[in-house]
């Protein structure tokens, strides 16, 4: 490992690799671990996203269409 890839720890100032998850000297976390989303949460997130699109299609699009129709009928 070259010294170019080392940087100081924000807490103890010891040199730490840029790839390290925590400082080996003081243990300070340097990177946040990626969240691990389970199957249940992933499925719920996908259902919520699908629900938003369904609401847009069922409510917003017809309302905008009606407003455009009213506007065009007046002119």
Distance CA 14, CA 39 (A): 40
Is a pLDDT exceeding 90 seen at residue 16? Answer: yes
- Say if residue 2 is in the same domain as residue 26: yes
Q: How many domains does the chain have?
A: 2
Question: Are 39 and 73 within one domain?
Answer: yes
Co-location of 24 and 58 in the same domain? no
pTM, entire model: 0.40
Same domain, 27 and 55: no
Q: How far apart are CA 28 and CA 15, in angstroms?
A: 13
| Shared domain check, 28 and 2 | yes
Residue-number span of the structural domain to which 11 is assigned: 1-32
In sequence order, which residues have a C-beta less than 8 Å from that of residue 14 and are 6 or more positions away? 8, 23, 24, 25, 26
What local confidence, expressed as pLDDT, does residue 38 receive?
A: 87
47 in the same domain as 22: no
For residue range 23-50, list pLDDT tens digits in order: 999 999 988 777 777 889 889 999 999 9
Whether residue 53 sits in one domain with residue 21: no
């Amino acid at each position: 490992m070259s010294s170019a890839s080392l940087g100081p720890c924000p807490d103890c100032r010891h040199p730490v690799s840029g790839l390290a998850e925590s400082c080996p000297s003081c243990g300070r976390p340097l990177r946040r671990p990626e969240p691990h989303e389970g199957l249940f949460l992933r499925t719920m997130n996908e259902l919520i996203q699908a629900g938003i699109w369904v609401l847009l299609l069922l409510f917003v699009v017809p309302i905008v269409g009606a407003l455009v129709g009213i506007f065009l009928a007046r002119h």
